[in-house]
Amino acid sequence: MIKLFRYLKRTDALYAVLCLLLVAGQVWFDLTMPDFMSDITTLILTPGSAMADIWIAGAKMLGCALGSTALAVIVGYLAAKLASNFSATVREKIFYRVTDYGEHEIKSFSTASLITRTTNDVTQIQMLIAIGLQVMIKAPIMAVWAILKIIGKSWELSLVTALAVVLIMSAIAVLMGMVIPKFRIVQKQIDDVNRVARENLTGLRIVRAFNAEAYQEDKFDRANTALMRTQLYTSRRMAVLMPFISMIMSGLSLAIYWLGAALVNNIAVTGPEAIAARIELFSEVVVFSSYAMYVVMSFMMLVMIFMMLPRAQVSAGRIREVVETDPSVVEGAGAQPQSRGSIVFSNVSFRYPDASENCLTDISFTANPGETVAFIGATGSGKTTLVALAARLYDATAGEILLDGQDIRSYTFAQLYERIGYVAQRAVLFSGTVEQNLAFGSAACERTEASLNETLALAQAKDFVDSLPNGLHSEIAQGGANLSGGQKQRLTIARALARKPEILIFDDSFSALDYRTDAALRKRLKTDLAGTTCLIVAQRIGTVKNADRIVVLDEGRAVGIGTHEELMRSCSVYREIALSQLSPEELEVG
């Protein structure tokens, strides 16, 4: 967890140093009070003492108490500020790191786990810092200072205090050994609860449609019960610690006064010197008792930290896993394009991490500027993976991908995605207005309301957007929940078109559109974006048959490349797909 503190800003480090100094002042005030208590006890027991002297000692004691309280308030404020600043910095580091991740890293951590690490795990660290700066610094300073105060006073009383400390430390060690492994499990179980809850919320319509509420409730109950049992295990064992320490504390106080009474009683009363010696010893016993309680209180405060520290350590480890995991897809130093809108796959193969065989093998094709290249094949043939390589969501395992004559890996991300408009297989919209979604992200072109309306018309989305209450300024719910599947898909297409990219990638993006809208959209793309290179993944023959080039994939290999007419003659896989969708007469007309 200490490695995370390198993210402390300079101002936060100053807050920490200031907290240390203020805590030292607070401890000085606390440990000075027993000395005034000793003075008051001696004055009370000494015949002829002036009341004014007692009042003066009491006023000094009160001043120490008020000074300690004031410093405690200031330390609490600074600790809370530092903890909040630090947690904000860590969340920022996690967020920025995750935005650099490729698909592989996201899948390896899982979305549910990344959410937990950004929220719950960071909160554990924040709580530890907020309380730790007040307690973790104070406890050792107080313990050492108090021990120095009582050293040499009485070996009998010191031995009893040492025995109490040993008992407390032994109890802490045993309990930590029992609960630390469980704290690691707790965070993983929180991931599971988060995953099940998120799955249920995103699939709520499906759950209701299939009357599967009981099934989902049972799944959540299993994850929730597992988390509850683990937390009960740790809580029950940690709950034993505080009563045990309270018992040790009370027992220590009783033992000190019992031994002190015996020591006072051993002094024979034979004269004024003996009485004075008894008074002095009694005062020392009172002060020793106070300092001994401070020693035990220090360990009680450390117990609070020990109760939080194991879980915070686990959280810190999970956070470090995220921020220290390097993305597998790294941007290049920058490239100088030699053309505009061309993309070349040269003997490209790809294998997912930990997979036993390639997903794509030896794929080669060229998409010249302004051409439309379509990809078709059975489910699982690698179509989506292929266009993901073109968008550099993954890096090819073997071979070379050239964009505008340069290796795609040599581009910076800004250069690369300025040239590419990507429409994912699953339509994703963000909460906000239609206009904000269309103008999402940075782009070299200027996007005005007029240009956005033109883009909507091109994407066959203008009619339904105009029918919304506020048109372009109408609100879209998170994930586009207030729109139909076809409406969401047309808006995501319009979002990609609004960037005016050199290359458009459609990953089965027309599947949610009806045939008429599909045909109208492709016609407008052909006429209005004649200079734009299009890569289209589709299942429908009608969507791909007019493409300049069609790549037929089967089990990750290109089994045919050509036009519709050429493939109908030469590629059995394509012919089989075509005849399963259209009649021979329709195919001839096409």
Tokens of 497: 């078109």
Tens digit of pLDDT at every position of the chain (590 positions): 566 666 667 777 787 888 888 888 888 887 777 777 767 766 766 666 777 877 888 888 888 889 888 988 998 888 888 888 888 888 988 998 888 887 778 888 888 788 888 888 898 888 888 887 777 777 787 777 777 776 766 777 778 888 888 888 888 788 877 887 887 788 788 888 888 888 888 788 788 877 888 888 898 999 999 999 998 988 888 788 778 888 888 888 888 778 777 776 776 656 566 666 666 666 677 777 777 777 777 777 777 777 777 778 888 888 888 888 888 787 877 777 777 888 999 999 998 877 788 899 999 999 998 889 999 988 888 888 999 898 888 888 899 999 988 888 888 888 888 888 888 888 888 888 888 888 876 565 566 788 888 888 888 888 888 888 888 888 888 777 788 888 888 888 888 888 888 899 988 888 778 888 888 888 888 888 878 899 999 888 888 888 889 999 998 899 999 988 889 888 889 888 888 887 776 666 44
Q: What is the pLDDT of residue 247?
A: 85
Tokens of 567: 């493939």
Tokens of 464: 């339904």
| Nearby residues of 495 by Cβ (< 8 Å), 6 or more positions away | 423, 437, 438, 440
For residue range 352-384, what is the model confidence (pLDDT) as tens digits?
A: 877 788 899 999 999 998 889 999 988 888 888
Cα–Cα distance measured from residue 174 to residue 512, given in angstroms and rounded to the nearest whole number: 60
Cα–Cα distance measured from residue 130 to residue 247, given in angstroms and rounded to the nearest whole number: 28
Residue 560 has phi, psi (to 5 degrees) of: -170, 135
Q: What is the pLDDT of residue 350?
A: 92
Q: What is the pLDDT of residue 117?
A: 87
Cα–Cα distance measured from residue 95 to residue 14, given in angstroms and rounded to the nearest whole number: 26
DSSP single-letter state for residue 480: G
Cα–Cα distance measured from residue 78 to residue 47, given in angstroms and rounded to the nearest whole number: 48
Point out which residues pair with 421 in neighbouring strands.
Answer: 504
Q: What is the pLDDT of residue 279?
A: 66
Q: What is the pLDDT of residue 228?
A: 92
Pairing mode, if any, of strands 360-367 and 406-407? unpaired
Domains and CATH numbers, the chain: 2-323 (1.20.1560.10), 343-589 (3.40.50.300)
For residue range 546-566, what is the model confidence (pLDDT) as tens digits?
A: 888 999 999 889 999 998 888
Nearest to 36 by CA among 65, 67, 56, 61: 61
Cα–Cα distance measured from residue 407 to residue 415, given in angstroms and rounded to the nearest whole number: 12
**Residue at 275: amino acid letter:** I
Average pLDDT, the chain: 82
For residue range 463-478, what is the model confidence (pLDDT) as tens digits?
A: 888 888 888 888 888 7
Q: Other CB atoms closer than 10 Å to residue 191's CB: what's the count?
A: 23
Q: Please, which contacts does 3-10 make with residues 24 or more away whose CB atoms are closer than 8 Å?
A: 3/316, 3/320, 4/90, 4/125, 4/316, 4/319, 4/320, 7/86, 7/89, 7/90, 7/93, 8/86, 8/89, 9/85, 9/89
DSSP states along 385-448: HHHHHHTTSS--SEEEEEETTEEGGGS-HHHHHHHEEEE-SS----SEEHHHHHT-S--SS---
Distances (CA, A) of 121 to 115, 117, 304, 311, 489: 9, 5, 18, 9, 36
Cα–Cα distance measured from residue 275 to residue 37, given in angstroms and rounded to the nearest whole number: 19
